[in-house]
Chain A
Amino acid sequence: MGKMIGQRVVRLIATLLAVTFLTFLLTALLPGDPVNAILPPDAPRDQATVDRIRAEFNLDDPLLVRYGSWLANAVTGDLGKSYITDQQVTEAIKQRIPITFELTALAAFFALLLAVPVGILGAYREGRFADKSSSAMVQVGLSVPPFIVGIFLIWLFTVKTSFLGLPSTGWNRITTDGLWENLRTAVLPAFALSLAPLAYFSRLLRSDMVGTLKEDFVLSARAKGLKNRYILGRHALRPSSLSLVTIVGIQLGILLSGTVVIEQIFALPGLGSRLLNAIYQRDIVMIQGITVFIATMYVLINTAVDFIYLAIDPRIRKR
């Protein structure tokens, strides 16, 4: 167990090094001169100014040196300063991340909340009406892109009806407006985001569960006179959820970086829209910082998933 934690930590650090370096490399390889982005559009672009800017931002140093100094700062929590707005990257992340986190968590929560019963039901009634109709609905969820769902939800809840009085755009902060106001703005975008993961989760759980239900231990649980509901929940769900947990981890990462479109539609000031802006403005330091942050979250989530495996399946603990 202790050895395993050690291994995971080493792997975590190695992954983070690779991720940060690749991110650094990518932005350095992008065509176009960052100097152009740093200078205001109407500023003179004579050699002296360009050289001054290059020196100021250390753009002339070799890549590895720049990476080294960036990394040294990053370790202390300093991800640099935007070329354009002069804002600290960590400051920007701090400002934007609560929205993205909340959307991600809420979307994953919605998805799991629906996917687990749908998956179990589909497996339990394999090949019957409940299975076929739920998998047809899931298919629809998979094939409709989230932005369509978002637009549809806005139309349905704010244009067509004023059900629950949900706002179509904007964001209320939990800290200033309270939980209820906050949830009112979060629920529609989170729901729009949850459909695709919901589809993945329920399909995956269903197919794993179909396999589990054919296991001898399910038959022996039946032969003990246990109720179906108990067998499904207490005996079949856990052994069927290993790949679900894996996919939940991956989906959390995708959601973290994938809220951009939904943030645009619902006019939410999340991390995604900040990243998008940075890309438009060629704000390399900002792009780097946010990417590294998201990648770090991704790796952390997947490390957490590894530990959840241990909780689910005692057979893995032995190794």
Chain B
Amino acid sequence: MESRGTVGRVDRKILVVEDLKTHFKLPAGMVKAVDGVSFDLKQGQTLGVVGESGSGKTVLSRTIMRLTLGNNVHTSGRVSFEDRDILSLSNKEMQKIWGLEMAMVFQDPMTSLNPVVKIGRQVTEHVRKHLNVSKSEAKATALQLLKGVRIPEAEARFNAYPHQLSGGMRQRVSIAIALACGPKILFADEPTTALDVTVQHQILNLLNLQQQERHMAMILVTHDLGVVAGRTNDIAVMYAGKIVEKAPTWMLFSRVQHPYTEALLRSIPRTNQKNHTRLSAIAGRPPDLINPPQGCKFSPRCPYAQDKCREEEPTLQAAQSDEHQFACWYPVGTPENKEAFEKNLAAQLPQTLAFAEGKVVDESVIDNAVALSGGGS
């Protein structure tokens, strides 16, 4: 899986992000939506950015694309796209990159297509601008694209308005729009969240297929680890504006280090669970980004949190391999982690008890917990 799309080629880094920060100034204070994110992405590779709502993943992708609007936005750090410093470019210069070299598929195809403009023009207008082709050439390209994203009767759809298409079809159109000029990098911001489950897989497979065919880099933003599982080379897990764990996809799933990643994994419903198994949710709410908790930002919700976590914020460090990084004092699977968990259970920390009810930890621990909490239900 990890070698997909790279066979026989040495791919260069297409995107380098260093210590990227995006802060919004609000009357209530500074919202640190993205707070020091670094990663790089090679040509033809896919990075999954995973996190809950409010973890900063959408702002991250929009910042890299320079699409954050408003004069209350403060951005710092470095985004290097093919050796161009994106954050220092003017809007005019960005207009030559947007749509041509960088493209984005938005979350909701119901709102991201203009309701009063025909599909045809929405698919061709930027093609005509960027590639400087005639109307008929642009139309030919567009029809090919629409067929490429499996839109039946593309010719007829060309003259349709968005409301005449289903949600899945509209997202296919959005993908066709994004791919139209052959971008070098594609941002897919929760591309399937607004769609029916049955359509989700089709759309994701389509994205994957196109990404491989074009040897394009892709950043797939999602809240669903299940979505990125078989489809990305690397995964970055974000929490409160920071990357808390980053690894090649297979490595992340087999050697989870960060408790937040573990919690995300546990919250995917499984078909092999008994009927009526309670859905395992992450205790508490995503942190307030204006007044984030001290120390590790996940500590108020973490079943393993110790005093150290509440005082001192961990930084990214390498696990067994350099490719796998995480930011935690008590990484999952270590003796320290187990010790911390038992200590918290004994102290009847609510998030630890809730976690124990999720029944993924071994039975003896749960029995122990039930005994400690006074018999249980």
Contacts and interface: CB of A to CB of B under 8 A. Distances in A.
A226 B161 CA distance: 20
Contact of B98 (A222, A312, A315): A222
Contacts of A220: 104, 106, 112-113, 174, 177
A227 interface: yes
Interface string B102-115: 11101010011111
A3 interface: no
Contacts of B163: 314-315, 318
A215 B98 contact: no
A244 to B, nearest CB: 14
B96 A217 contact: no
Contacts of B95: 225-227
Contacts of B129: 225-227
B114 A217 contact: yes
B361 interface: no
A155 B180 CA distance: 60
Given A223-B103, A224-B125, A318-B163, A238 B116 contact: yes
B111 A223 contact: no
B130 A235 contact: no
Interface string A216-232: 11011111111110100
Contacts of A312: 116
B102 to A, nearest CB: 8
A223 B187 CA distance: 10
Contacts of B177: 220, 224
Interface residues of B, number: 31
B100 interface: yes
B104 A223 contact: yes
B65 interface: yes
Interface in A266-319: 312-315, 318
A314 B100 contact: no
B126 interface: yes
A115 to B, nearest CB: 20
A219 B104 CA distance: 10
Interface string A197-216: 00000000000000000011
A315 B117 CA distance: 11
B104 A225 contact: no
A313 B103 contact: no
B67 interface: yes
A227 B95 CA distance: 7
Interface in A118-177: none
A116 B354 CA distance: 58
A225 B116 contact: no
Q: Which of A216, A227, A238 has the most CB atoms of chain B within a 10 A radius of its CB?
A: A216
A234 interface: yes
B251 interface: no
A117 interface: no
A222 B95 CA distance: 8
Contacts of A217: 111-115
B97 interface: yes
A225 B177 CA distance: 12
Q: Is the interface of A mostly helix, strand, loop or mixed?
A: helix
A225 B113 contact: no
B110 to A, nearest CB: 9
Interface string B55-97: 0000000000101010000000000000000000001001111
Contacts of A219: 67, 69, 106, 112
Given A223-B67, A238-B116, A314-B161, A216 B111 contact: yes
A224 B98 contact: yes
Given A219-B106, A223-B104, A225-B97, A314 B130 contact: no
B99 interface: yes
A68 interface: no
Contacts of A228: 91
Contact of B126 (A216, A224, A238, A239): A224
Interface residues of A, number: 23
A245 to B, nearest CB: 13
A226 B114 contact: no
A222 to B, nearest CB: 6
A319 B69 CA distance: 36
A221 B94 CA distance: 13
A238 B115 CA distance: 10
B86 to A, nearest CB: 14
Nearest to A239: B116
Contacts of A238: 116-117
Contacts of B91: 228
B280 to A, nearest CB: 32
Contact of A239 (B69, B103, B108, B115): B115
Contacts of B97: 225
Q: Which of B95, B116, B126 has the most CB atoms of chain A within a 10 A radius of its CB?
A: B116
Contacts of A225: 94-100, 126, 129-130
Interface in B265-320: none
Contacts of B111: 215-217
A58 B148 CA distance: 78
B99 A224 contact: yes
Contacts of A221: 114
Nearest to A311: B116
B99 A223 contact: yes
A226 B130 CA distance: 9
B116 A314 contact: yes
B127 to A, nearest CB: 9
A289 B97 CA distance: 64
Interface of A: 215-217, 219-228, 230, 234-235, 238-239, 312-315, 318
11 contacts: A216-B108, A216-B111, A220-B112, A221-B114, A223-B99, A223-B104, A224-B103, A225-B95, A225-B99, A225-B126, A235-B114
Given A224-B98, A225-B129, 20 more contacts: A217-B111, A217-B114, A217-B115, A219-B69, A219-B106, A219-B112, A220-B106, A220-B174, A222-B67, A224-B99, A225-B94, A225-B95, A225-B96, A227-B95, A228-B91, A234-B125, A239-B114, A239-B115, A313-B115, A318-B163
